[in-house]
Structure 1
């Protein structure tokens, strides 16, 4: 009988050690996942400083999320989010759709760079939209074809269903420059808060790529609005040269 108890004790210890190791590596696994799955969506580099998640409460933070500049732009990065707070509905983790109570993006830094082909932010937002359009339709939408096949070499993305009850972006700082067009010219502005609710409430939810595209599209829209007046307007006028202010802004942001 004693040997049975000993075996059970060893098994419990091994299981406990395995669970502890899995939990201790969760942060690194999420960090790795973000850095591996996001670059194909935005078509540029992505890095994360650290991730801290609680498997018990479902809350966590992502620190130092950065999106690099696409080809043709000189700055080191297009977007940096110092801190993102996330809260999951832990009861949904075992279901077909993960419910995120909120995503709170605080004080993102947007380095908007204007070029002859548009802004870096517009390029990245367009890349995300293009990626989403090329993905296979979700289950339940048979007969709907993607706009075009994924580019050769694009890694397959596992279909993860999400529902985001609230997405809030506050204190976004927009720094604009026209590198190559107006050397040493720059302007800064703080964007209004962005709040999106009830994303992916349908049965199909939304994918992480769709969520990324939504966020980038909203930031691009607000950047376009901010650029329609004040110092940013003057900067973009200089950068676009031969076209008028409104036309220049439309060209840069695709509006």
Structure 2
């Protein structure tokens, strides 16, 4: 009996130690899970500076969330957030589906970069299948299923860069709405990225068109002004030349008649 109690005590201590280890390392585990799932889904590095999870308070904060530019583009972040604050339904932690009730973004930023006719956002989207594949019948390993309510990313600031623009143009890319999604972390990365990037590409494409139109109009106005200036200068030169010729002719006539 004592031996059995000893075994039970050891098991309790091991479980307790495991729980303590899990809680103490939860931030790092979540950070690595986000980076791994995001990178696998998007095909470009996804990084998070730090994560702070408060299970008791039903919240989590991601700091320095960034998606790197895909290969073939500049060595900059394509997208970044100073902070993502996540609200968690505490009751769902004991269920099969963990529910995230809201996500608040701080200082969202997007770089829309074009090389020729290709953009960095389209390069990422080209990796996505035409439609989301059905879930595997037998997943390779236990993965949490997460449900996220519909959310909106407000006030996205952007920078437009193109080999057809002499300099970067800063613009406001507006707001992006994302419908409710559910799946494993990697599935969520694709489900969120698809509507997010689609709307960003449309907003940024319109902004890029306006920027290029403004640049072309500026060049036309500059060329027109230069032609007008050159024409005025040439007219002045011709007027001065004509005046000199008239004066020379008059003086020649005076010399001939002895005036």
TM-score, with normalisation over the residues of structure 2?
0.68
Residues 115-153 of structure 1: CA deviation (Å, up to 9, x unaligned): 1132112222332x33x74x641379xxxxxxxxxxxxx
Residues 58-84 of structure 1: CA deviation (Å, up to 9, x unaligned): 211111111111122123221111111
1:171 paired with 2:155, answer: yes
Q: Distance in 1 between matches of 2:143 and 2:3?
A: 46
Gaps of 5+ in 1: 141-155, 239-255
> Alignment partner for residue 214 of structure 2, among 216, 223, 234?
234
Question: What is the correspondence of 1:7-156 to structure 2 with a 5 Å cutoff?
Answer: 12-127=12-127, 129-130=128-129, 133=131, 136-138=133-135
Residues 7-57 of structure 1: CA deviation (Å, up to 9, x unaligned): 776665543332121011111111111111212221212211011111222
Q: Distance in 2 between matches of 1:236 and 1:40?
A: 40
The structure with more helix, counted as a fraction of residues: 2
Q: Distance in 1 between matches of 2:154 and 2:48?
A: 20
Distance 1:29 1:11, change over 3 A: same
Distance 1:166 1:107, change over 3 A: same
Q: Distance in 2 between matches of 1:137 and 1:159?
A: 16
1:224 paired with 2:208, answer: no
Distance 1:161 1:3, change over 3 A: closer
Name the Cα RMSD after superposition: 3.4
Residues 159 and 207, structure 1, Cα contact 8 Å, conserved in 2: no
Q: Secondary structure at the match of 1:34?
A: helix
TM-score, with normalisation over the residues of structure 1?
0.69
Greater RCO structure (CA 8 Å; 6+ sep)? 1
Gaps of 5+ in 2: 219-259
Aligned residues: 213
Runs of 4+ in structure 1 over 6 Å off? 1-10, 156-159
Larger radius of gyration between Structure 1 and Structure 2: 2
Q: Distance in 1 between matches of 2:182 and 2:80?
A: 28
